[in-house]
Structures are given as structure tokens and as C-alpha cells.
Structure 1
Amino acid sequence: MEFPVIEPFTSGHTANPHWKLRGSAALNGSLELTPNQKGKAGTAFLDQAFSSKLGVTIDFDFAVAGGIDPTFGLGDGFCVYLIDGQYTTEPGGLGAGLGYAMERRATPPQPGVTGGYVGIGFDNFGNFASDLAGPDGPGSRSNMLGVRGSGSGTEGFRWLTGVQVPNGFRADWKAGAHLQVSVIDGRLTVRRSSTADPNGTLLLDDYPLTDQPGQQQMPPTFKLGFSAGTGGATASHQIRNLKVALPVHMSLDMEGPIQADAGQRIHYLVNVSNSGPNDAPDALVEGTIPTQLSDVRVECTARDGAVCGPASTSDGLHQPVDLPVDRSAQIVLSGKIDPAYEGPMTCAALISSPTRANAALQHHDSIRTQVTIPPANADQEIAGQWQQTWPEDALGHVVSSNLKMRANQDRVVEWEIRFDVPEGTRVNPVQQQWYQVKEDGQNGSVVLASPGDGKHTIEPGAGLTVQVQMLYPSKAVAGTGELRNLRVAEVTGG
């Protein structure tokens, strides 16, 4: 089988003909594993083997609703399972077995799946943790993520681990409820997310499936299935938007100002990296660009063998990146804030891949910036740049800029100019200044201040120009020489 497997389950048929629907499983706008009826068990089983060596991540949306008896509530739950790739299977036990494990209460006992390796149960009612589904469970526990191990028929299915989840697994489609199940190097991770929580919450982190008592050796290949069961308690268990893919851990974090001035050019830094275990040749960084920004620009710097593709900002940020394992890139998104705007604005970004499944803890981030009308603004005009070869302790690439300040309404007597610079950058120590240098950039920020003589004021209409030379470690680090998040603040006391 080739990855990725993309299966919306929203039509009356599957894209892959190797799906086998058994028991109560049916397609009706989603993959409905059980209807909201008593005593049902359904399985959707992909009868194609895939290698267990590279890992697998299973992403899908879910909805669980119904319940016809208020005494019981919702029941029982649903399950994602992997079996040994050399077998095929029918549904496991209904009710407590969640369609994966056995159901001992039935007469005769209902068998579990054939060649099962692991079943991850999302159990609202709680009997998946009881001895009805197999040995060694803690007893019935409602709202439980439970993991049962290897088993076949009426043998095995030992309880491995579990965690109670507040409010269980009740959801409708509007919530964007989503689950991600990853098995990488024999270790299991489960994350739940939603529209309100895009990075998600870890329910189970890196749990070792191998070498557990009663656990079979991890087979060379797996086959994948979904199942669900009801007993006296009922629910409709539905799945949509399935993606089965090779896992990557592509993390994303953003940097940007929490305060900015109207009319200022603002800069957001988006840092992305891939820690593996697989390459991501088609990673895509997408972002929401605030509508208050104009003259939007994107600069992508790839590191250590990563490659940035051509960017687009016509409908939000779209930046392709080829991210091999242990490679990274930084994207600088900038734009000029509407001079008349005052209030909050938010920039957000996420990283994904059409062929890989992102299992990183953080793949989405956002910056909320409060914009105010400033007493003065500054524009940068690059006056020149050169390689500085003397003195020995000040070698690098110099960018000389004229910072043209203008007051918006009233005269500004005492002021500070602030902007951000890359690591290793500082105000050129060779340059002589008539203004104060309060922070020279070695901490990532530059602060230039009026000399305090009351003579270098910013007048409405007249303006004031400050020349500053910035010394970068190299021309590559300097880039275009544009100063990040340049703004002017009025100093009013103390």
C-alpha cells in the first residue's frame, strides 16, 4: 500500500476499493460504524498491508451522538486498531469489545478480531476497561481512552494502559473534533484536537507497545481498521476525513510584537523544523494575514539543506518548504499597518503536508498585536552598504540607513527609536552618533534615544532624520537590510 491514504468517507463509496465494511458499518455522508441502536458492532477494515518500520499516523474527524436511554447515556465507544498484515478480519465483540476485543458476556462469548496487535478504544460507557473485553483491566471506567494489546478470537486482548478523559468522546461535526493516533518505533501517541484547540491535547504520549506482557512481536506489516460497538447504551459513531500517512514532527513557532504603531511596518518570524522520523519534501506553511496590512512581503531562509519554494500572499500566506529530517527554515512576513487603524490584529500560521502526517506537539501558532496611533512614525531609507574590514573587532557587513521621523499631530521633544535585529547584529561601533544608543542590538533589540538637549525635536510637517549604521555578521544575515518592527515612542517623564 502507498501512503498517504486519503479517505473523506463523505460519499456513498470509498476512494480505495480495498475497504471492507462489516457488521453495521455503512457510508451515509460519513463512515457510520454503528447507528444509534442497541447491540450493534461495525468495522471498516482496509485490506491492504503496509510496513510497520517507517511508522504510521492516523488522522480523522469524529462525531459521537445519540443515546436512546437516559439511564445508560452514550455507549459504548469506538476503536482504531492495527492487526498483523498477513490476516484479514471480521468485527470483534459488540458492546464492551468496541468491535476490536472479545465480548465475554455474550453466549457464547463473541470473539475479537483476528491477528490483533493493538486496539485504541475511545470508550464513553467504560466497559472496554472491564474483564468483559479481556484480562487485566482496571474495571469499568467511563470516559476512558483505553489500549488493549495483541489478541485473536477469544485469546489475548490484555489491557495495556488507559487514561480517563474529562467529558469523554462526545462531539458533533461543528466542533471539528479530531483524533491523531501515531505508532512510531513501536510507541503509541494519541492526541485530540478541535477547531478551538488546533495544536491539540496529548492523551497518551510515546507509550511503549513492545515488550509488554502478552504482547506479540511487532509484525513486519500492519492492516488498519476502525470499529465500534453498542450494547444497552447506544450512540452513532461516525468518522470523516481520514488521512493515513508517514509521520513527521514538523514544529512551528511564531515571533512578533504584541504592540505596534499604526503606519509601522511590522514583521512576524515563523520558524519551522522537522525532527523526523521521515523527510517532508512538500511541507507547506499557510497563514492568515491581517487585513490591516498592505505591501505584504515574504522572505524565506532555508537552513542546512532545506529548500524554500516560491511564496504567495494573494489569499493568505502560502510558503512551500522542502524539509528533510533535522532541517529548518525561517519565514519573515512583513507588512505596513493601516495608518488610521487602532485596535487588535492577529497573524496565524500552521505547517502541514499533503503526503505526510504532522505529529509535532505544536504545528500552529499565532501572534495578537495591539495597534495604537503613535505620536510619531519613522520610515527607513537605505543610504548604502559595504563590507567593513577594520577594525579587527568590528568586521562584518554594514547597512547605513536614514530613519525619517515625523510627528503625527503634536511636537515630540524626547523620543526613542526601537527596532529588532538578527542575532549577532549591533550598532556599528565605528560610527559616531549625536543621539544616545541605549541598546546596541546584541540582545536582539536596538533602542536609540534623543540626546536630551531639547534641540532635536520632531516637529509636525518638518520631521527629523537619524542616520544609523548596523553591523551584521555577514551580507547573508543582513538580507535586504530592512529593520524589523521599526517604531518611535515619545518619552514623557522620568
Structure 2
Amino acid sequence: MTGLALISANALLATASPQAHAAGGSVILSETFTGSKVPDRGVHPLADACLTGAITPPPPSASTIGPCTHTTSAPLPGTPGYLQLTDAEQQRNGSMIYNRPLPGNGGLRVEFEQYQYGGNGADGIGFFLADGSRNVTAPGAKGGSLGYAQSNYGGVNENGVPGGYLGVGLDAWGNYATDGNGRGTGCATKSPHTAPTRFPNAVTLRGAGDGFDGYCVLASTIGADGRSTLPGSLRADTLADAKRTVVIEVSAEARPTVTVSIDFHDGNGSQQVLKYTMPKDAPKTYKFGFSGSTGGVRDTHLIRNLKVSSVKPLDALNLVKQVDQSKHKQPAKYRLGDVVPYQFVVTNTTTRTLTQVKVHDPKIKHVRCEDTTLTPAGTAGSSTTCTGTYKITDRDALRGLSTNTARAAGKNPDGDNVPSNPSTVTVPVVKMPPKPHHPKPKPKPIKAPNTGRSLQPATGPQPQ
């Protein structure tokens, strides 16, 4: 439901609520993909993406992801199932995009099981993070770009993920690390791994990009000899042997450190395979997705048991305020009279339902929330996005910036107030010089003409 969300600042009183924790952080999202439907409508399937556990189309209240129609070397329909990106047919592709913003103020830890098997080894699985303030409705290019980077394969330009921040290629075939087919267009430093050579069985990170620009190679498990340093294979011949548990951790710093660890289920446990500090600041929130594709060479690509949490614990009610770029890209600087659209991402990290969730921003009169009831952490309704606008004033233009701080609050089942952390956004404003001050001139004294006569004292009675 949609409701007007307004509260007064003095209503933000602290209370304690039990929180859901995972690996030291707070639970944000959890989806196994083993059932016959996905309750979270933020999960958007594209192309061949489907649920192997689904037999009938999903209900209107759930995600639109439904039964699979391509089943070559794929799991039999029924539960427990998987998120299937592709089966092992040639020239297939599929993606899943989570188009709801997730808070980034505590970092992000994403864990999932990936399965690549059943064919002869292509292409791989891509995972990406994008700017959560953007509207992410399409993946990047298929094939060797693994649904993240751009491509001009066959003379057809395909853009990368809009507002892309990080692409992690779990690359069985070995093209993702190269700048072939237009990948990395606009990058000052080209990939050291040169097409048409392939670099199979590698994990490679690509950086920020938008449209057909960027997505530069940042780091890879490819060694100086051109071989991957991975301690195991990303794929297997059969589903029974193909399970690999991947953990991608993005720290909470402005320029986070990304760590990729993989458990190959060979008895050696989870092993760190890549670590890199990002060269650009992270967005305030993230959206994410998975992609898989095949070409003339093929494999089945599956995902299961997705868990998303923060790296550092979040407040019981977590708030992230950001400039809203989901409808229009915003200017580098605002001008006097411009309207700034804001988003407020409110997340319940407790094990209880919170009601009467509201956002207060002293500079924004009306803040409206998609939902005012948040279900327990990790469930489909545990987060909501609120929106409001602010008009740049004379005072902002004189200062050259506009800063304001928001807070949120809700009620737990006992009726106790659950406050959020404060969240502040500063936007740059084209500075307006102060109005010139023109003081009124002082009146000039009037001088009487000198007639040569002197004034005589008055005569007659004087006052007593």
C-alpha cells in the first residue's frame, strides 16, 4: 500500500528490537529459489530465466518468474528447484535482476550457490552490482560480456548494465577478461588479457560503466603465464558435482574492498580467490543481478540459496537517503529553483514486523512510502522506498550546496518506537554571488551663504 509518511523529529525515541544477523552483519535478503514461486516481486526474470521448481505460472502477488521451457541437461521440473539462467542449448541467455535498492551503508555480503555443467563449457555466470538509485531493467550484453559489460559482437551494439558499479565474471569459457567485441570501450587502461586468446576457468572483476562506456577490467585470477590461479574448476560434467558456493563481499568504505571466495566442495572449504579495492566511490545503495549465456559452446547455468547481508551490523531500522535517478539522470550541480528528487530506502533488520513506518526530513514537507509495514528481515516485504522532493533556495545558492538529514521510525508489535540512523545527503549547487549592497548616501550638509552679517541675540522677554 502507499501512504503519506510524516513524523515529527521529537517522536524519534530509541528502543531495542531483536535483529537478524548473518556473518557479523544484518540480514537484508534471503531467497533459496528452491520453491515453486518467488514471493519477492523485486525479482525480475529476463529472457530464459525461470524456476525449475515451478509447474504453473506464478500468482499475481509474486515475482513473474515462472516455469522453464528449455530443459536440455537441466534439472527435472519440481521442488526443490533452482533459478535456471540457461539450459545447455546453444545460443541461449537468461538473467535475473533485483530492481529494488539494497542499503550499502554497512557494506554488502552476497552468498549463493552456482552450478555450471551439462555441456562443453560456455560461457559462464555473471554477477553484478549497480547504482541503486538507477532504474535497472536490463542486463548488459550476452555472450562473453556475461550480462554486465558492453559488446559490439556481430556489428550489433549492446550496452552494459545501466549505472554499473561492479561485475564479477565466473567465467568458464574465458572471454570476459578480454576487451574483445568492444568490451572496455572508453577505458584509459586496456585489459592485459588480449583477445582472441581465451582465459578459461577464471574469476574477473570489471568496474563502473554506463551505456557503451567503461566496464574496465580491474583484477583477475589470471596469472602472468595466462593461466587461472583458481584452486578448482568453476564447472563440472554433472549437476551432482557442479555445486560451488560463492561469497562476494563489498566492504563499507567509500571505496570498498571487494573479496571473492569460493568453496569448490572438494574438502578444502571456502578459499579467497580475489581481493581488490575499487577505484571509484560506491553508490549509497545497490541493485544486483545474475546472467548466464551460451554460444556455439554451452552449459546449463543455475543459481540457488541466495543470501544478502551487510558486512557491518545495521540499525534495527536502517535508513539510506539518496538522490533519485530512477526516472531521470540528475545534473552534476543544481541551480536556484531546481527540484531535487530524493529516495529514502528503509530496511527492517529485526526479526519482528514493524508498522507505522514513516520518514521525517525537516526540509521536505511530504515524504511518501510504498509501504508503511515492514516484514521481518530477509523477507519479501522487509524494505520500502520512500520519495520526496526539495526545491533549491536562495540560501542554498549562496552557500553553493544543499544539505539535509532524514530519519525514520516505526512501531514494533509491543508498540515501542523503533528509530533509524540519521542519513544525510549534500548536493552541490551552482553558487550565486551575494546581492550587491548599495548603502544610501549620507545627506550633504547645507551651507548658508556668507553675507557678512552676524546674528544678533534675540531681544524681549526670555523664558524663565
Please report the TM-score for the alignment, with normalisation by the length of structure 1. 0.46
Higher RCO structure, 1 or 2 (CA under 8 Å, sep 6+): 2
Please report the TM-score for the alignment, with normalisation by the length of structure 2. 0.49
